[in-house]
Amino acid sequence: MNVNPVNSIEEMNQINQLNIKTNTDAFQKAIQDAMNSKDKEKLKEACRDLEAVFVNQMLTEMRNTIPKDPLTGDDFATDVFTTMMYDNYAQSIAKNADLGIADAMYNQLSKKI
């Protein structure tokens, strides 16, 4: 098995964009499944997940404005760690903070159930 490591910020950004596309497609499928089964809990969870994707994108863009720390360097392992950490931050923020994005989407979409 041959694994090619990601070597640049541009490649990480391309991977992030692909992840956003994948998450958006998964959201559309989750919404459709919830609408077909008329399950409001599934719909609410899908809305929370999309809010987490939005928060993750916001945190990623904020992180891109911070200069690299010369102590930790600019290596692949640090990028992977911080990406995973920010993913967890986004999930936690979407779950615990009341940003209102998920609620607004849920209120709009639940009218069709």
Q: How does pLDDT run across 2-21, given as a tens digit for each residue?
A: 555 555 566 666 665 666 66
User: E strands within the chain?
Assistant: none
Residue 4 lies in a domain: no
Residue 1 lies in a domain: no
Among candidate residues 53, 60, 27, 56, the one with its CA nearest the CA of residue 42: 27
Residue 92 lies in a domain: yes
Our count of domains for the chain comes to 1
Residues 6 or more apart from 106 whose CB is under 8 A from it?
43, 44, 47
User: For residue 22, what pLDDT band results from cuts at 50, 70 and 90?
Assistant: low
43-46 LR contacts (CB < 8 Å, sep 24+): 43/106, 43/109, 43/110, 43/113, 44/102, 44/106
Domain range for 58 is 9-110
Whole-number percent of the chain with pLDDT over 70:
76
- Find the range with the poorest average confidence among 5-9, 45-49, 54-58, 83-87: 5-9
Residue 76 lies in a domain: yes
The pTM of this model reads 0.67
pLDDT of 52 strictly over 60: yes
Q: Which residues of 76-89 are buried (b: 16+ CB within 10 A; e: fewer)?
A: eeebeebbeebbeb
Residue 3 lies in a domain: no
Residue 32 lies in a domain: yes
Measured distance CA(111)–CA(9) in Å, rounded: 42
Is-contact 6 12, C-beta < 8 A? yes
